[in-house]
Structure 1
């Protein structure tokens, strides 16, 4: 072989190796979804297991990893999983909700493929079909920072996922029948911590252990379906360091209100007397407070936990004041090396204001929940597929609700698919206005938003004077207190069909959700991926040839 040919082949080999190295790492999982039996309150009941685990396995990933999960549905019903808080840049095809995907039929499998692109932090996954979330199928999903990006705190001794949530002893199918018949779910039966309801008698095995003098990270996520929960660790203050993918100013708290769908990352140091301590989770804003507690044990511990557990706060004003203390860490880098505060969201002009009012009413004598007078109904054909195949008019109508509805618009409710057109890359203000006496929790798929205000009363433009336009935390789920509003700001720069929903499963199931259609005028792969080859087809598009793919 001549020297020139050798050098040519060497250059080709180097280029190929560079291309291989340039692709981000892949993580592969195979999940078998089955029914199983648990007895958290002493009575056997059916639950949803993943690979024989309840809760499901924890996904441990790093920024920009490609995650490939082959989900085998061994249930007797269609099934879908959503990756709550993962933005799926340009890829709403993997969002795992009925507006974007056909559910996985029983006895079949589907392989999700998504990338945790430019994200860090603590997230969860859970089912979105029927009332499956009330039976399990949920778990933790963490995205660790790349080694080259500094994290604004020292590496903890260990990293624990704490899944807290309310729980019903009735089966998910029974709960679904309640809602289908027009009944509310009523009060849950208790609270679980990582799928358990410890007796709190000090005799059970510890949920977590800590070495004296060491600091641990706890990722606390509310995977419940209805109730906000207060979380605390007996005798141990918690330093908040991360919230739903954002590093925060490191304030210290004795307890934290964690609303449905929210995740907090805290640091806890084992610097107290070496013995057992209780971690406590209890319901908030309920007439009857449900509490559960589990053991955290020092490795050299020599005594039981004190029976006197710290009291939970009272009233939602306390929770509102706690929200006001949450601040974005402007000097910390997130998934990229530039500081979080380099994005001056407060200097961007708002191009559109959308007010979303939730309501509860009855339609034909049955309970329904609505947004701006429309109670969402999932059609047999997913909205995204209808749009992609060019037949949206056969499935849904755009913009059947207005941006600024009158207060009485919620009195008359229409059942229909609820889809709003959003202009690609516009900077939008969304107001969640709660006229009811119960607390709400809202989530926006595909995006992080700036939670600039949560305040009592009705929203008016004058309320903008009190917005936090400097260091509001960038997050994906926000609570709205009774007779109050929440204001968020975000740029609709992620093309696709994205779900905006109540995190309270009863309300979402009965219509309190909508979809935002974000179309790129360029119809280019630079803005949105093509439909995956393995996409399931259903409804009126089943059997149709795929439309021509987008091009670069």
Structure 2
């Protein structure tokens, strides 16, 4: 009996690792025809869109990527927080690209996260050619989900699309030209023709409820999505369970992901899912067929209209509320229901601008970011940052003259665990969309006009959604709040591909003062090296 008890105690003291999920990807070119015209696309394992990453909260994800393109490649994991691990973020400020004909294995953990996300290639305007796919994270079985299990789940990876190749679009930008307007809108890599020849993209059994994971994976345009005759119940938004409001349509800005429930309670036939551009002088529409399993009859050619104006979209944003009663993995700050009571230690106001006089460039606070041959994080880790970039060449306030733009690596320092307020102020005429790697933040306000400290009285300090992407309407501002408790080098970027490629981004360096493994992982042994650190001796690893 004593031996049995000792064995039981010994087993209880062993702490096993969280489960691993493995993927092997062959990234290659192939012929695709999203708008009916053959063009070169980027495939993963021969698929467009790419294969789904299917995992559970706290799983370790291992993705071995073979680059069979003719140019360098990086993959990034949009919305995944990469706790203590910006090495795996897959942006040019943190990671050396995978050379053609070689491979690299990404290893990251989806720590304390649930919800709908996606991945995509992050350099060379590759996203314009495909290479994207869905990444879903289920709650662990012991944690209840605040709605019944659906009959099935479906991805809706929608976005604007260009019939020109990514190399041609890139040449436009390199020569000072805009990529212009897209040629269409696609849903899961295609759009229904509406001539009776379309196969259904989705099927539903009458009376059953289905989960649709909706992401805008496009390059520049916000999209409105709706389904003929079927309202959508919003249940999750960028990793957070939300108050379950019902919508006839949803505006999904570039980089955003929503999860909705749809019940098959209409006449059994075909129905159109419709995604169309918003806030543009042009209207482009993509369609997909939803078919009832016992359906008889085609979808009506009369498509439900999209709402008009951005005031409607602003009111939709204000209707989003964090579900504080739901049990779930909590985005950081862990389990915080009282974020509005934390004292702000720093306010950073970022204003976007554009310069068309000396070639097309976009900027934040007058600096247009330029990627460096040596990734910023590697330069910092090896102690040679001063040979690659300068910190804080922008201030926490935008300059008076936003027309003067400097091209340089744009890196700001943030103090570890400081509670920060970031204001995005948009003086332009187009909607902006921003994403911050490594974090979820509280989206506390979007309002027209200019921001002043008095505007804080209008913040939602109770149940703003914890998310990672936020839009900023024309002549408006948006405010987010977060704790910089995730050490690393993190990219804050415009989700509009043209703007990001031409400099509307920056990096935030969050250093652990103790160089401790409790705060940040050391450089992985398998990490690719490039630039000036390639032949330098490896620094001492972080300690416990």
Is TM > 0.5 for Structure 1 vs Structure 2?
yes
Task: Say whether 1:314 aligns with 2:308.
Answer: yes
Distance, in Å, in 2 between the alignment partners of 1:457 and 1:513 is 23
Residue 224 to residue 204, structure 1, CA distance change in 2 (3 Å): same
What residue is the counterpart of 1:385 in the other structure?
Answer: 378
Give matches, 1:152-551, under 5 Å. Answer: 152-335=146-329, 342-362=336-356, 365-408=358-401, 410-551=402-543
What residue is the counterpart of 1:48 in the other structure?
Answer: 42
What residue is the counterpart of 1:89 in the other structure?
Answer: 83
Aligned-residue offset at 1:288: 1.3
Partner of 1:366, secondary structure, is coil
Contact 2:337–2:462 (8 Å) recurs in 1: no
Q: Which runs of 5+ in 2 are unaligned?
A: none
Distance, in Å, in 2 between the alignment partners of 1:340 and 1:423 is 19
Give matches, 1:44-83, under 5 Å. Answer: 44-83=38-77
Aligned-residue offset at 1:300: 0.7
The CA deviation string for residues 168-197 of structure 1, in whole angstroms up to 9 with x for no partner, is: 000000000000000001000000100012
Partner of 2:380, secondary structure, is helix
Aligned-residue offset at 1:13: 9.2
The CA deviation string for residues 268-324 of structure 1, in whole angstroms up to 9 with x for no partner, is: 000111111000000001111001111000001111111111001111111111111
Contact 1:157–1:214 (8 Å) recurs in 2: yes
Partner of 1:405, secondary structure, is coil
Partner of 1:98, secondary structure, is coil
The CA deviation string for residues 135-190 of structure 1, in whole angstroms up to 9 with x for no partner, is: 00000000000011111100000111110000000000000000000000100000
Partner of 1:22, secondary structure, is coil
Contact 1:331–1:339 (8 Å) recurs in 2: no
**TM-score, normalization: structure 1?**
0.96
Distance, in Å, in 2 between the alignment partners of 1:503 and 1:67 is 24
Aligned-residue offset at 1:335: 1.1
Contact 2:238–2:467 (8 Å) recurs in 1: yes
What residue is the counterpart of 2:22 in the other structure?
Answer: 28
Distance, in Å, in 2 between the alignment partners of 1:11 and 1:71 is 45
Partner of 1:177, secondary structure, is helix
Contact 1:202–1:295 (8 Å) recurs in 2: no
Distance, in Å, in 1 between the alignment partners of 2:410 and 2:335 is 35
Aligned-residue offset at 1:12: 6.8
Contact 2:362–2:368 (8 Å) recurs in 1: yes
Contact 1:330–1:340 (8 Å) recurs in 2: no
Contact 1:92–1:497 (8 Å) recurs in 2: yes
Contact 1:331–1:341 (8 Å) recurs in 2: no
Aligned-residue offset at 1:538: 0.3
Distance, in Å, in 2 between the alignment partners of 1:82 and 1:189 is 25
Aligned-residue offset at 1:544: 1.5
The CA deviation string for residues 11-35 of structure 1, in whole angstroms up to 9 with x for no partner, is: 579746863x621000000000000
Aligned-residue offset at 1:546: 1.1
Contact 1:27–1:65 (8 Å) recurs in 2: yes
Distance, in Å, in 2 between the alignment partners of 1:494 and 1:456 is 31
Aligned-residue offset at 1:90: 0.3
Aligned-residue offset at 1:536: 0.3
Distance, in Å, in 1 between the alignment partners of 2:393 and 2:334 is 37
Say what the alpha-carbon RMSD is for the aligned residues: 1.8
Contact 1:92–1:446 (8 Å) recurs in 2: yes
Contact 1:202–1:305 (8 Å) recurs in 2: no
Contact 2:393–2:410 (8 Å) recurs in 1: yes
Contact 1:246–1:474 (8 Å) recurs in 2: yes
Q: Which runs of 5+ in 1 are unaligned?
A: none
The CA deviation string for residues 184-213 of structure 1, in whole angstroms up to 9 with x for no partner, is: 010000001000122122331100000010
Distance, in Å, in 2 between the alignment partners of 1:337 and 1:404 is 28
Aligned-residue offset at 1:342: 4.9
